[in-house]
Amino acid sequence: TQLLEQSPQFLSIQEGENLTVYCNSSSVFSSLQWYRQEPGEGPVLLVTVVTGGEVKKLKRLTFQFGDARKDSSLHITAAQPGDTGLYLCAGGTNAGKSTFGDGTTLTVKP
């Protein structure tokens, strides 16, 4: 079983602060995705990264895939209350299955 460990598990910050959450594994993944989930809803895709060392930016969110394709990070600049939610990383393999991390619960206080 390929495991994805996310850290921190919980994060509570003030509006305007920056933050980084991490997704780490001892396994290599062919792709890595980040999802955001709001209470009572299913996860929604934020980004997919496929190349080692790849960096993608989505407005105030910056995603990075590690060179060895075993880890990833999500950095949020100037967090807003609307960023509050559960952030999940998911690793994909050529075998056709995906593995989800346990998530980081982010709370941004006004």
Partner 1 sequence: NAGVTQTPKFQVLKTGQSMTLQCAQDMNHNSMYWYRQDPGMGLRLIYYSASEGTTDKGEVPNGYNVSRLNKREFSLRLESAAPSQTSVYFCASRLPHRGLNTEAFFGQGTRLTVV
Task: Work out which of 15, 17, 41, 67 binds partner 1, going by CB under 8 A.
Answer: 41
Nearest CA-CA partner of 13 in 61, 81, 101, 88: 81
Q: Does 28 interact with partner 1 (rule: CB under 8 A)?
A: no
**Residue 5 vs residues 14, 39, 72, 73: alpha-carbon distances, Å:** 25, 21, 10, 11
Q: Does 45 interact with partner 1 (rule: CB under 8 A)?
A: yes
Least Å from the CB of residue 107 to partner 1: 14
Task: Work out which of 7, 8, 26, 44 binds partner 1, going by CB under 8 A.
Answer: 44
Residues that bind partner 1 in the complex, under the rule CB under 8 A? 1, 4, 6, 9, 30-31, 33, 35, 40-45, 48, 50, 88, 90, 92-94, 96-103
